[in-house]
A and B are shown apart, each in its own frame.
Chain A
């Protein structure tokens, strides 16, 4: 599907609702022809940001550019966007085919072109068999597919997705997510996708823009944002469980090294950064566990053991009052009883300063 490719540039974008600042002075560029996921907890301003891009919400201050065209005051209909909403929006009393056709009819396209596009989109989304069905007869998952189909059939420059999977029943959820993943691979448009679900973000994004309190705190590809969180919030929000944080009182520092003697024996060579380190972050899977005593490893008491997704075990380990969460393989998890010895993979440790920003 071809259409001109647009960067979306946000300059000093702010949106206030009375005294509440939903979006706070954001400067950000959403690169063309990529999938950017705005990820963050409820109320962080991600949906408001997307609605401003769509023109459904007016910014309090700042500007929005599609490539070099300023669109801040341009109406929604003139922005040439596609958008999929949180609740499946369908045009009632009509067939699936008619729903897909409606946006195309106003574009002044030839009948044959419309027909071709409708069939192509239906095929892409796997709803060809339902084309002649009334939309009311369909489940929410299929309805949302129709909404997606409507958004892409017109071949707009930019397509926005506002938590499209959130309100879909669990059975259709996985299938819809799979369809979207496949679809995003084929589309060349600039796609912005809002979600609070990190798995969704990890699956679909080319880059994740992590939002907190109306600000984008970090933007990076999924693997990078996970392994190298830019701040403590990113470390905590991504990952299940979130990153373990070891604060200052458990750390020992020299001019160029940092250690956490309660947890592990090694010292980390971090150079000049050592001066600023206030918090140390360790992912649950960065801790190696053994049930037999290992020289140089630290002993820990197992407080809790639970079976996690994919058969892995989650352990709550107590190091003389310091508790951290650790993920181990199924086999190891079964073996674990009340005491383990652990070492930490020092390459996968994150260091943060007093303000929670990575150093």
Chain B
């Protein structure tokens, strides 16, 4: 009797949900449709168009119809020493800027985390995060003004302290480091925010247990803080890397790639090819290269997210 009833019950369970998925599936596609259309129209299609264009010789100002040239654009790009220099300069910029921002961000994040009952903490945090929310173009403009050799406040301070006037943005040795400093000024708050979030993800009980167990500070970091904080911190570093790789506004406004090409980053080069020389075929090839780098970085990003999910599942 019992087995019969349970068999019937199981059958009824099998039967019931059959109709639902079809209905649900249709509805879910319907709901997804606007987003998918939007994504296809504004993302997939232009990307495919760009990919196609990268195999053509096509310059808007030449009045010539696009001609298929195969991989010529790519081989030109590889052979172009200026562009290769620009790519390696971008990587140097990325590495130095992200390292500086991460280290400073961690220091500041830890400071705010440790002093969570400090009076005026909220105000200090709000002020500290201001650079991050200012439009990069505005940041670039006012830093350009501040660094101006004639009437900039920085040079005013330097001269009042007895130093000689320095033109930071036109000096071939100082322009690049100055850009890194400004980028660091702008984005350190972001890394500090990520550090705060990362430290906030460490369970209080584990920190208390570490104090009870009398673990030395470095062991607390390696055994308690890092296992929890690493995901958010690494995501922060990665997001910052992707962003630093695309840096364009700072260099465009502050130095316009100069002096010479000492601050010419790849995004600026791309801008020149596409919107100054209108070499659409060639700039598409460069874009495809950049796209691959962005995909590689995103793959790492997704890998970390996935690792975090797995770690959470084992909890």
CB atoms of B223 and A103 under 8 A apart: no
Q: Which of B269-315 contact A (CB under 8 A)?
A: 311, 314-315
Residue B45 is within 8 A (CB to CB) of chain A in the complex: no
A64 interface contact, C-beta 8 A: no
Contact (Cβ within 8 A) B205 A89: yes
* Interface check B213, CB cutoff 8 A: yes
- Residues in chain B near residue A89, CB distance under 8 A: 203, 205-206, 209
A189 to chain B, nearest CB (A): 14
Which residues on B sit within 8 Å (CB–CB) of A54?
208, 212
- Within 8 Å of chain B (Cβ to Cβ): is A82? yes
Asked if A92 and B213 make an inter-chain contact with CB atoms under 8 angstroms apart, the answer reads no
Assuming the contacts A89-B206, A93-B227, asked whether A106 and B211 have C-beta atoms less than 8 A apart, the reply is no
Main secondary structure of the interface of B (DSSP, over half): helix
B209 x A106 contact (CB < 8 A): no
CB of A94 within 8 A of CB of B208, answer no
**Assembled-state Cα–Cα distance A92/B314 (Å):** 10
Q: Which residues of A contact B311 (CB under 8 A)?
A: 92, 136
Query: Does chain A have a CB within 8 A of B25?
Result: no
- Inside 8 A of A136's CB, which chain B residues have their CB? 311, 314-315
A81/B212 in contact, CB under 8 A: yes
Chain A residue at minimum C-beta to C-beta distance from B227: A92
Would A102 and B314 be within 8 Å (CB), given that A76-B208, A85-B208, A147-B209 are in contact? no
Are the CB atoms of B208 and A102 closer together than 8 Å? no
CB pair B219 A102 closer than 8 Å? yes
- Complex CA gap A106/B217 in Å reads 11
> Is residue A77 contacting chain B, with contact meaning CB distance below 8 A?
yes
Give Cα distance in the complex from A80 to B212, angstroms: 8
Asked whether any CB of chain B lies closer than 8 Å to the CB of A91, the reply is yes
A 74-119 contacts with B by CB, 8 A: 75-77, 80-83, 85-87, 89, 91-94, 102-103, 105-107
Is A154 interfacial (CB 8 A cutoff)? yes
- Inside 8 A of A56's CB, which chain B residues have their CB? 208, 211
Please report the C-alpha to C-alpha distance between residue A54 and residue B228 in the assembled complex, in whole angstroms: 24
Closest to B210 in A: A91
Cα A263 to Cα B310 with chains together (Å): 63
Nearest opposing residue in chain A for B228, CB measure: A92
Whether, in the assembled complex, A46 has its beta carbon less than 8 Å from a beta carbon of chain B, the answer is: no
Judge whether A103 and B227 touch: CB under 8 Å: no
Residue B216 CB within 8 A of the other chain = yes
Asked whether A106 lies within 8 Å of B208 as measured between CB atoms, the reply is no
Report how far A106 CA is from B211 CA in the complex, Å.
12
Q: Is A150 an interface position by the 8 A CB rule? A: yes
B214, CB-defined interface residue at 8 Å: yes
Is A83 a contact of B314 with CB atoms below 8 Å?
Answer: no
Q: Are B205 and A103 in contact (CB under 8 A)?
A: no
Whether A103 lies near B208 (C-beta < 8 A) is no
Chain B residues engaging chain A, CB cutoff 8 angstroms: 203, 205-206, 208-209, 211-216, 219, 223-224, 227-228, 311, 314-315
Name 11 interchain pairs, CB-CB below 8 A, sorted by A. A56-B211, A76-B212, A83-B208, A89-B206, A91-B206, A91-B227, A106-B215, A136-B311, A136-B315, A150-B213, A151-B212
